[in-house]
Structure 1
Amino acid sequence: MGAGGRTCVPPTPRKQGENEEHHRKRVPHTKPQFTLSQVKKAIPPHCFQRSVIRSFSYVFMDLTIASCLAYVAVNYFSTLPHSLSLLAWPLYWAMQGSVLTGVWVIAHECGHHAFSDFQWLDDSLGLLLHSFLFVPYFSWKYSHRRHHSNTGSLERDEVFVPKRKSGIRWYSKYLNNPAGRVITLFITLTLGWPLYLAFNVSGRQYERFACHYDPYSPIYSHRERLQIIVSDVGVLAMFYGLYRLVLLKGLLWVVCVYGVPLMVVNAWLVLITFLQHTHPALPHYDSSEWDWFRGAMATADRDYGILNKVLHNITDTHVVHHLFSTMPHYHAMEATNAIKPVLGEYYHFDETPIYKAMWREVKECIYVEPDEGAETNKGVYWYRKML
């Protein structure tokens, strides 16, 4: 079984110190003895089958729940006593943001052609759902595809690319304390997603300015430019729709009903992605060592409790998603359990509570460096916490 892998038998409880040491154990970084074909053969064939009806059932479920939550908030919160209303709105924001993150995950699945067997259907629905959440669908689809093609590469990965020690900014030492980490987390969770889309913050370094809204951005090829414009039109259409809604209902109404839940969606998206690719036990590679297979396995599955289901298991089946990205989410858990015996220690699952994991990774994963004094594997980089 993989490091931290789950079996049908509950794991033996560990003391806190043992649990931490268990999750710090590095996954192997050498080329595995098994192949991608062997991993695929371990997965039941039906896991690769996509069903339009089943996929749409999740869209219907999510949108129905989101509509019911909005209906209750709009029609009943104003009738509550003021003290209860102050409690009801944050609860609504958390629940609605989580449900809409599930909608985001389905749109992400469309971008991977994992929703159905029809590319036109996947792109049409993905464009609609992502535009509703202010995501430029095709723009992100293509940059995310490049992320999947280059996961774990220090030169070519597209998102949450770790810095080497030489790339640490001068002000980092002033943020390397509890107050600084709180500030870092707050900015990352609130502004991280829009800053990435607009300015490629935390993304791959390009020779010139990179932006997801620019059809001539270095992120994209010439043949992709028209679709980038289509993505921009989708986002602009949503802007216009919100503008009309503000005129009709008022700015505060739109912020409370839609704006704050959207911020929750963005926060979940950034946190989930950050924790999938940032862990002391996971290696990164430079061009002398990197290959696609090892890079794809150098990700972590996490446990978000009941939110695993709300978020359509994007949280605890991320390893298999990187290996087989066209697999629909409703087969990913079965596939994950099937590949664990094959991956062995190359599979990493961390059940550390998310709030603890978030703080730990911000504290300990500051930059990457090869092991000091290592004569071999100089192209393998690990996270360090000491500035």
Structure 2
Amino acid sequence: MSATLTQRRVGDKSTKGLSAIDTYGNEFKVPDYTIKEILDKIPKPCYERRLTSSFYYVFRDIAVCLAFGYVANTYIPMVPNMALRGVLWAAYSVLLSLPYTGLWVVGHECGHHAFSDYVAVDDTVGWIIHSYLYVPYFSWKFSHGKHHKATGHLTRDMVFVPKTVEEFKKDHGVDSRVKLSELAEDTPIQTLTSLLMQQFGGWWWYLLTNVSGQKYPGHSTFAVSHYNPVSPIFEKRDFWYIVLSDIGVLAQTFVCYQWCKSFGAFHWAVNWLVPYIFTNHWLVFITYLQHTDMTLPHYDSNEWTFARGAAATIDRDFGFIGWFFFHDIIETHVLHHYVSRIPHYNARPATDGLKEAMGSHYRYSGESMWKTLWNSARACQFVEGENGVRMFRNVNGVGVAPKS
């Protein structure tokens, strides 16, 4: 809905009292509180980064990986039935992806300087962990930092930037004057195919081409790669850090080569390759659902503020896997966008203070994340809005119909 006469400007940045209609048809009220009001509610001890606690989780995750590996590599070969052995190896590889993802989360905290009080320690630990998981550490750290600085901003956010109506029409090969009502609904098979490509290829394609991020006209597809030291994603001062990120990935490539040479390709595949593939699935699964929901807004530049952008995220519940293996990255993600330097082991009490400060603007969903993944893929195809606040719409007949 358009801004009303009762709304007023807050400084030169944003309009107070804005609202919009979400995909469900409910009124979404744009938050107007300040960052100070948020930070004042977070207990001061939550900011403490304890080196011993942080290393505990690194070594705990590694211990879990080694324990899983010992049991699997010792006992699965003893199973006489080949088909059953295959099932057990597959199950083991998927299971191993859980502590692998936990290690990725700890490496991600290093990039936010949430691991310790020492930047050199954080970057060393993060570089080692992320390189093992084939992530260019500094490249990801820099682009992810920009994502945090501009979450929910349509032209500055760095990941899961939704399509506008015009971009959606262009992707479907139709003129901008064509009404969305004239476009055919996606079939469930199309949605499933798109989801599988997103879950099992999206992470690599993002690192290689910045897909789902901002567009950089005049640059070729791979020129915006996270592996390119002169990519427009980065600043000139980042050059040698990107090179160091690439060296880490190349070093892991050598490790994988030696692994295959010493123990065989099958041993490498079930203990690293397949768990790595599923780790990438979990990363996309987590991040997509943290920023994509029928109740979440995106903002044009004139109405975006940091406080609003950080609130354009949602906490979910993934049970034991979420809090034990994934270190609460799903359950406390809204907090992470307000204060990314708070370590995960302090995130629960900090989130309690955050909820008090945000009130009704705090977003949480206890719905099954698998169900939400499907619903979001069907309903969140593009964003639409007239007053600088854009909400998700679709051509699948889910929720409120688009106007264009």
Aligned equivalents of 1:167, 1:222: Cα separation in 2: 30
TM-score, reference length from structure 1: 0.89
User: 1:363 aligns to what?
Assistant: 378
Amino acid at match of 2:48: Q
Change in CA separation of 1:382 and 1:62 when aligned onto 2, cut-off 3 Å: same
User: 2:313 aligns to what?
Assistant: 299
Change in CA separation of 1:190 and 1:171 when aligned onto 2, cut-off 3 Å: farther
SS at match of 1:306: helix
Aligned equivalents of 1:248, 1:174: Cα separation in 2: 53
Do the aligned residues in 2 keep the contact of 1:28 with 1:345 (CA within 8 Å)? no
1:317 and 2:332 equivalent?
yes
Aligned equivalents of 1:22, 1:159: Cα separation in 2: 21
User: 1:91 aligns to what?
Assistant: 91
Per-residue deviation, residues 325-371 of structure 1 (Å, max 9, x unmatched) = 0000001111111221210111000111011000000000000011x
User: 1:143 aligns to what?
Assistant: 143
Per-residue deviation, residues 156-177 of structure 1 (Å, max 9, x unmatched) = 1000000011111127967811
Do the aligned residues in 1 keep the contact of 2:335 with 2:351 (CA within 8 Å)? yes
Aligned equivalents of 2:347, 2:25: Cα separation in 1: 25
User: 2:200 aligns to what?
Assistant: 190
1:241-320 matches, cutoff 5 A: 241-309=255-323, 310-320=325-335
Stretches of structure 1 that go unaligned for 5 or more consecutive residues are 1-20
Do the aligned residues in 2 keep the contact of 1:26 with 1:281 (CA within 8 Å)? no
User: 1:379 aligns to what?
Assistant: 388
Change in CA separation of 1:238 and 1:385 when aligned onto 2, cut-off 3 Å: same
User: 1:78 aligns to what?
Assistant: 77
User: 1:214 aligns to what?
Assistant: 228
Say what the alpha-carbon RMSD is for the aligned residues: 1.8
Deviation at 1:305, TM superposition (A): 1.1
Change in CA separation of 1:318 and 1:23 when aligned onto 2, cut-off 3 Å: farther
Deviation at 1:76, TM superposition (A): 1.7
Change in CA separation of 1:198 and 1:175 when aligned onto 2, cut-off 3 Å: farther
Do the aligned residues in 2 keep the contact of 1:174 with 1:180 (CA within 8 Å)? no
Change in CA separation of 1:74 and 1:369 when aligned onto 2, cut-off 3 Å: same
Change in CA separation of 1:28 and 1:190 when aligned onto 2, cut-off 3 Å: same
Aligned equivalents of 2:393, 2:90: Cα separation in 1: 36
User: 1:9 aligns to what?
Assistant: none
Partner residue of 1:200 out of 190, 202, 210 = 210
**Structure 1 residue runs of 4 or more that deviate by more than 3 Å after TM superposition:** 21-27, 171-175
Change in CA separation of 1:217 and 1:174 when aligned onto 2, cut-off 3 Å: farther
The farther-off stretch of 347-356 and 66-75 is: 66-75
Do the aligned residues in 2 keep the contact of 1:198 with 1:213 (CA within 8 Å)? yes
Change in CA separation of 1:60 and 1:26 when aligned onto 2, cut-off 3 Å: farther
Do the aligned residues in 2 keep the contact of 1:175 with 1:181 (CA within 8 Å)? no
Stretches of structure 2 that go unaligned for 5 or more consecutive residues are 1-21, 175-182, 397-404
Q: Give the share of equivalent positions with the same residue, in percent.
A: 39
Deviation at 1:90, TM superposition (A): 2.5
Change in CA separation of 1:171 and 1:22 when aligned onto 2, cut-off 3 Å: closer
SS at match of 1:284: strand
Aligned equivalents of 1:360, 1:245: Cα separation in 2: 41
User: 2:128 aligns to what?
Assistant: 128
Deviation at 1:218, TM superposition (A): 0.3
Do the aligned residues in 2 keep the contact of 1:47 with 1:335 (CA within 8 Å)? yes
